[in-house]
Amino acid sequence: MDPGGSCVPDDPDVRRMMEGSTLRKVKSRLWKRQRHFRLLEDGLTIWYKSRWAGKGHSTFSVTDLEAVREGHQSEVLLSIAEEFPAELCFTFVFHGRQGNLDLVAESPEEAQAWINGVRKLIHKAQTMDEQERLDQWVRDWFLKADKNKDGKMNFKEVKTLLKMMNVEMNEEHALHLFTMADKSESGTLEIDEFVHFYKILTQRDEVWKVFQDYSGDGETLTLEELENFLTVEQQEGERSSRHAQELIQSYEPSETAKKQSAMSLDGFQVYLCSQEGSIFKPEYLELQQDMSQPLSHYFISSSHNTYLLEDQLRGQSSLEAYIQ
């Protein structure tokens, strides 16, 4: 799978990222170390290491990033502003409470390649469909848990990973599915095999039952059967006829099923897990309150530890915690 899409081979900034760059990783005014960074072939994983680290390296996914800030837009980079001009500096901002990654390039052109390239990849990741998001989420977990970085996991390692992912399982059943997914019969799963294994392990029986209740042949939902589901279960009324065709075009992964105006179980699950299948009212995602008042007129949800990026004994203090 190539979630990075067509921008990976064609875009000059992304190509430069894949070729790799030596960037300074900055943690403080005194801690500035060179690291080699490059974008891996999947178009979403950024790999980096020190030249003294031997085989050791670190990775993170573009899907972990919220934004890229240009110039001296962090406390750390402001502290070295006299040493490194703004056109060399940029910051990767992660989702949640993970600390920023402050970097300094060797040239303005190199900095712009990384700034623009990562912004394009973030946009691409944000526009993935639900099935691509799920696949990438599972891949990210695999990469984090693959401690020796050999791209393979045996059943013992897979069991540990599933516990980290909060997946409950019957061990005998999981081993049976593991063996089915191990196409090479090597006793290990590579990343694509693990994605397949995860899908069959976590298949939702209740979704399958609803699908069977409305499917005449047990394989697909025809346009009429999907309309019936939308009318009865989703209570869409007259809108269901037009909406059924839109859902097939939007969420059905099989081109053959699309041509037949039908929806497979995979497409049905993707639809139910999408925003359109959510019980949450989408209008509440937009700003609902009056935000034109002075800051002191609002209650701010925070605590005496909000300024910490990690634990209260050793955690770094930062304004970033309030921003995030």
Ranges of each domain in the chain = 12-127, 131-202, 206-277
Q: List beta partners, residue 308.
A: 317
What is the DSSP secondary structure assignment for residue 94, as one 8-state letter? E
Smallest Cα–Cα separation from 77: which of 322, 307, 318? 318
The string of pLDDT tens digits covering residues 305-315 is: 777 777 777 77
Cα Rg of the chain, angstroms: 24
Q: Where are the alpha helices (DSSP H) in 152-311?
A: 155-164, 171-181, 191-201, 205-214, 223-232, 240-251, 255-259, 265-272
pLDDT above 70: percentage of residues in the chain? 93
Tokens in use for 8?
């990976």
**DSSP E strands: which ranges in 96-187?**
101-104, 152-154
What's residue 55's pLDDT? 65
Give the position of tokens 């298949």: 203
Q: What is the pLDDT of residues 207-217, one digit of tens each?
A: 889 999 999 99
Query: Which DSSP state fits 140?
Result: H
CA distances (Å), origin 219, targets 123, 222, 228: 35, 10, 16
The CATH number of domain 131-202, selected from 3.40.50.10710, 3.40.50.300, 1.10.238.10, 3.40.50.2000? 1.10.238.10
Structure confidence at residue 6 (pLDDT) = 43
Helix residue ranges, H only, 7-107: 7-10, 12-19, 75-79
pLDDT of residue 81: 95
- pLDDT confidence bin for 90, thresholds 50/70/90: very high
Q: DSSP secondary-structure letter at 165?
A: T
pLDDT tens digit string along 225-281?
999 999 999 888 888 888 999 999 988 988 899 999 999 988 898 888 887 888 887
pLDDT at 129 over 80: no
Mean pLDDT of the chain: 87
Q: Is the pLDDT of residue 38 over 90?
A: yes
CATH 1.10.238.10 fits 206-277, yes or no: yes
| C-beta of residue 221 within 8 angstroms of C-beta of residue 214 | yes
Residue 130 confidence (pLDDT): 67
pLDDT digits (tens, 9 = 90+) for 281-299: 777 778 888 889 998 898 8
pLDDT band at 53 (very low <50, low <70, confident <90, very high): low
Give the model's pLDDT for residue 324: 67
Give the residue among 142, 147, 144 at the shortest CA–CA distance from 189: 142
> In this structure, which topology does domain 12-127 adopt according to CATH?
PH-domain like (2.30.29)
Do the two domains 12-127 and 206-277 of this chain adopt the same fold?
A: no
**Which pTM was predicted?**
0.59
